[in-house]
Amino acid sequence: MWDIASIAPPLKFLSSGRFVRLASLYLSSKELHPPITMRPSGDRHLATETELKLELSADAVDTLLGSGLLGEPVSVDPLTSIYFDTPDHLVWEGGYSLRIRTVGEAHVQTVKTKGSNSAIFARSEWEAPVTGNTPVIDYTTPLKAELDIDGTASVAQFSTTVKRHRWNVDQDGSRIEAALDMGLIVAGDRQMQIRELELELKDGKPNALFILARRIEALVPIRFGVVSKAERGYRLLGEQETACKSEPVHLDRDLRVSGSFQVIAEACFRQFRLNESILMDRANPSALHQARVALRRLRSAFSLYKMILVDVESHRLKDELRWLTGILGTARNIDVMIARVGSSDIRSYLLEARDSAYEEVLNALYGSRAKALMLDLNEWLHCGEYLTLPETAEIRNGPVVDFAIEVLDRQRKALKKRGKSLVEADDEHRHEARKAAKKLRYASEFLSSLFTSKQAERRYGKFIKSMEQLQDELGLLNDMATAPTVVQDLELDSHPDAQSLIVVGDREKLVNTAQSSLDELMERKRFWRG
């Protein structure tokens, strides 16, 4: 049996053109539509679903079904779905999934966009009845018009078989369909269990989804799902990976500033959840590192967008993210030491310390504080006060490209100021330069998709390469400066082999090299200008 925690290769999100758009959700947003409106033809129609996906344990499923919290189910149906694609996965890499679902004698074909990959899925879909399990691909879906794919080129890739309990819930005047799926995804000789509850908003306000989620969370533990059934199936088809790196962030140039923040925060949260799932399955240094990276990137996003994040809740959430990052940081420091040490005696001590640190990580992730953080963060992100404050309306609703240029200029200026004289600076000031470099790197990665000319792409490649070089050098300098403190915190400073944990090297030479790298970076043409 395969589990989602053990199947987590980093997947590319490829925007294949004008059909694919990362759509964010706003409390006061207009109805979401694909960039090109597809006119319905006959029984075929375009719809947009907005749903919250929750992952449950087997015990939680039993408790929920026995609680009556959602009332009596309006239906309990066996559902079988077959997902189709070309042999080289053109449908998936083009930003879509294609399935045929069988309910009784009826067959329904659905084409969906990948959506925003966030806790809230806001996705366009094209649905039509078909005869049997043969895809019908024509110009009523984007697969033919955009990807030039026909039904004969598509073959079955994997299938899902679930029992679905469905409820209609009235939550504070909003209509929500709750669907609990229990079953399997099967891809060749691999399979994965499904236990997920989807809350789909049929009519009303998005915050109703979170109100209902909190009622459920008061009864059973929940985790936000950031992976669709289609993506799980494609992950089963791929190689097993041990960690999930950050995925490219794709921003539309016509997004508002607040919308761009949501897309970026969603991407960071997704990376965290994917790695958190792996960590909860097994102690994995790579997954812990990437989970920590995701939290750091999210905290940087808060800083980059501080002009619109002036509400009390945004400051509280940032403090909570700092707390959780710190918990993971302790374990990460020990992992780094273990990779560096050669002595078997001191290694044994570090492995014991690592076990203790990982236990603290798991206690935090399973604890009420971290779980509350995840729920609070996602509700605030999509329905928070920051989206409606009058004092930030002008910036919040302004054009994202102008905002991005201002942010990148500001971060570049901050790095230039803090790195003006690394040779004469002390360790603390070099650490500040390192943090400024990280912020500029993250800002560049978050916002680069807004600048798509060939010239901008060339400049971006050179800019990031120089950034990576500088960060490596500043990181090594930081390790030299902080290793003694870490050794002392682990009570190893008196150990005869403690010196093996200390980073050694020609500090003066490295500082000069870092200064040269920073000067070279400052000479690079800015990809966001000209």
Residue pLDDT, tens place only, 452-491: 999 999 999 999 999 999 999 999 999 888 888 888 888 8
Tell me the Cα Rg of the chain: 25
What DSSP string runs through 175-198?
EEEEEEEEEEEEETTEEEEEEEEE
The CATH label, of 2.60.120.40, 2.40.320.10, 3.40.50.880, 3.40.50.10890, for the domain at 1-241 is 2.40.320.10
Domain definitions of the chain by residue range? 1-241, 399-523
pTM: 0.87
3-state SS, 263-304, equals HHHHHHHHHHHHHHHHHHHCCCHHHHHHHHHHHHHHHHHHHH
State the pLDDT at residue 5.
36
State the pLDDT at residue 374.
97
Residues whose CB is less than 8 angstroms from the CB of residue 103 and which lie 6 or more positions away in sequence, other chains included: 77, 78, 79
Residue pLDDT, tens place only, 480-511: 888 888 888 888 888 877 777 877 678 899 99
Contact 13, 291 (CB under 8 A): no
Domain 399-523 has CATH 3.40.50: no
Residue 400 falls in which region: left (phi positive, over 0), alpha (psi -120 to 50) or beta: alpha
State the pLDDT at residue 144.
86
Residue pLDDT, tens place only, 95-145: 999 999 998 899 999 998 876 555 555 567 889 999 999 998 888 888 888
User: What amino acid is encoded at 218 in this protein?
Assistant: A
Residue pLDDT, tens place only, 244-270: 999 999 999 999 999 999 999 999 999
Contact 154, 135 (CB under 8 A): yes
Residue pLDDT, tens place only, 27-43: 223 222 222 222 233 33
Mean pLDDT within 5-26: 31
Residue 513 pLDDT exceeds 70: yes
Neighbours of 62 (CB within 10 A): 12
Neighbours of 399 (CB within 10 A): 15
Helix, strand or coil, per DSSP, at residue 41? strand
The CA-to-CA distance between both ends of the chain, in Å, stands at 53
Across the chain, what does the average pLDDT equal?
A: 88
Contact 162, 194 (CB under 8 A): yes
Neighbours of 369 (CB within 10 A): 12
Contact 331, 361 (CB under 8 A): yes
What band does 355 get if pLDDT is binned at 50, 70 and 90?
very high
Q: Say which residue, 49 or 126, is predicted with more confidence.
A: 126
DSSP letter at 17 equals: S
Residue 217 pLDDT exceeds 50: yes
State the pLDDT at residue 257.
98
State the pLDDT at residue 27.
29
Tokens 């990376």 belong to residue: 271
Residue pLDDT, tens place only, 412-437: 999 999 998 898 999 999 999 999 99
Compute CA 199 distance to the chain's CA centroid, rounded to the nearest angstrom.
20
Contact 405, 398 (CB under 8 A): no
Dist CA 320 CA 295 (whole Å): 10
Residue pLDDT, tens place only, 155-203: 999 999 999 999 999 999 999 999 999 999 999 999 999 999 999 999 9
3-state SS, 410-439, equals HHHHHHHHHCCCCCCCCHHHHHHHHHHHHH
Tokens 């992950």 belong to residue: 235
Beta bridge partners of 164: 77, 181
Dist CA 494 CA 323 (whole Å): 30
